[in-house]
């Protein structure tokens, strides 16, 4: 962008920040709208019960089991044979060994117990099961 100053041509060296601020505000709004949608995790049909909330000092690890017996640690798939060594590695340096299990209600009871047994063998002290509240 050229301009004339005292009869000489030169370039304007000031940065126009208005378009930069506009772009940043649009990006901020996009991230604010999409962030809650990205935190959904694995789709699991949870059983309904009447329970109390779990009180925890730090964010517990979430282990999800889908109706087709696929296991996820947070959003990462893992086979049942690799579950125990992976959990040992994850919890090696954690002080509070807490894990929450989100299991689909259509899963066979034996499979869920098999997963819980692997979690316990990995040395996890506290295991919780996530459920949906009863509709009144």
Q: Please, what are the domains in the chain?
A: 2-38 (no CATH), 48-133 (3.30.420.270)
User: Does the pLDDT at position 7 exceed 70?
Assistant: no
How many other C-beta atoms can be found within 10 angstroms of the C-beta atom of residue 118? 20
Find the mean pLDDT for residues 31-44.
70
User: Does the pLDDT at position 1 exceed 60?
Assistant: no
Using CA atoms, how far apart are residues 98 and 120, in angstroms rounded to an integer? 11
Find the mean pLDDT for residues 79-94.
90
Find the mean pLDDT for residues 80-86.
92
Write the CA distances from 120 to 42, 49, 60, 73, 84, integer angstroms. 22, 24, 15, 15, 9
Find the mean pLDDT for residues 33-61.
65
pLDDT in tens, 87-135: 999 888 887 788 999 988 889 989 999 999 999 999 887 888 887 776 6
Q: 111 CB contacts (<8 Å, ≥6 apart)? A: 65, 69
**Beta bridge mates, 78:** 71
How big is the chain, counted in residues?
136
User: Does the pLDDT at position 11 exceed 80?
Assistant: no
């Amino acid at each position: 962008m050229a301009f004339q100053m005292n009869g000489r041509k030169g370039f304007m060296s000031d940065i126009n920040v208005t378009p930069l601020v506009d772009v940043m505000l649009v990006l901020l709004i996009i991230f604010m709208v999409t962030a809650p949608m990205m935190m959904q995790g694995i789709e699991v049909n949870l059983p309904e019960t009447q329970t109390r909330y779990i009180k925890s000092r730090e964010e517990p690890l979430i282990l999800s089991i889908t109706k087709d017996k696929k296991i996820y640690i947070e959003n990462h798939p893992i086979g049942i044979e690799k579950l125990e060594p992976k959990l040992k590695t994850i919890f090696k340096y954690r002080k509070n060994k807490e894990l929450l299990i989100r299991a689909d209600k259509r899963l066979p009871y034996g499979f869920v117990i098999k997963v819980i047994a692997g979690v316990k063998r990995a040395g996890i002290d506290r295991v919780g099961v996530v459920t949906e509240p009863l509709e009144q």
